[in-house]
Structure 1
């Protein structure tokens, strides 16, 4: 089940980010408006437009968030591996899981160390 969701998510994100999609949406909106004008825009027309638009945006938002979460997890894993294989201290591993004050303290400490070594 997870594999199918990931595959569908990847395909949907790839499709949604394609350069043809904005042009297609503009053409679709023009056709939608023309058909609405021919029917004098009944109230149900606006309700359907709002509902479909909201659902599509919500769905794409969830897919993009899922994709970003997976990419960030992979990036953090790669960075942790680089830290382990370098001379950097192991306290940098999983820094993203610490609170904001601890991260700022680590950044200040690192900034102080880099300015000392450069002089």
Structure 2
């Protein structure tokens, strides 16, 4: 399983960095403040269709950031719990502790390997 030690692709690194940055509460509050200010500017723009489009897009972005922040927190908490369990279980493969850093191809390869191991275990039983 040497591929676990491989460096993630640029895309994986970029997407992980973007997810970490956008899930910070400061970013969420900044975007939320911008939406509130734009909402207050509605009468100035006579609630035009352009203003409504901008507001709709902004509200969608805020919703996305709220969901992403919540999911990232839950995933991080789950990862910490799993890491703790891996440390506590004797014989556990601690090399999987950083599996979330793998890119899609590496994860798929690892998944196929574990499926093959499970199939061979079932056939032995």
TM-score (normalizing by structure 1) = 0.53
Runs of 5+ unmatched residues, structure 2: 1-24, 33-45
Is 1:106 the equivalent of 2:115?
Answer: no
Q: Count residues in correspondence.
A: 82
Partner of 1:57: 60
RMSD (Å) for aligned C-alpha atoms: 2.8
Structure 1 stretches of 4+ with a deviation exceeding 3 A read none
1:69 to 65, 69, 72: 72
Partner of 1:80: 83
TM-score (normalizing by structure 2) = 0.51
- The whole-number CA distance in structure 1 between the counterparts of 2:106 and 2:50 is 49
User: Between Structure 1 and Structure 2, whose CA radius of gyration is higher?
Assistant: 1
Runs of 5+ unmatched residues, structure 1: 13-42
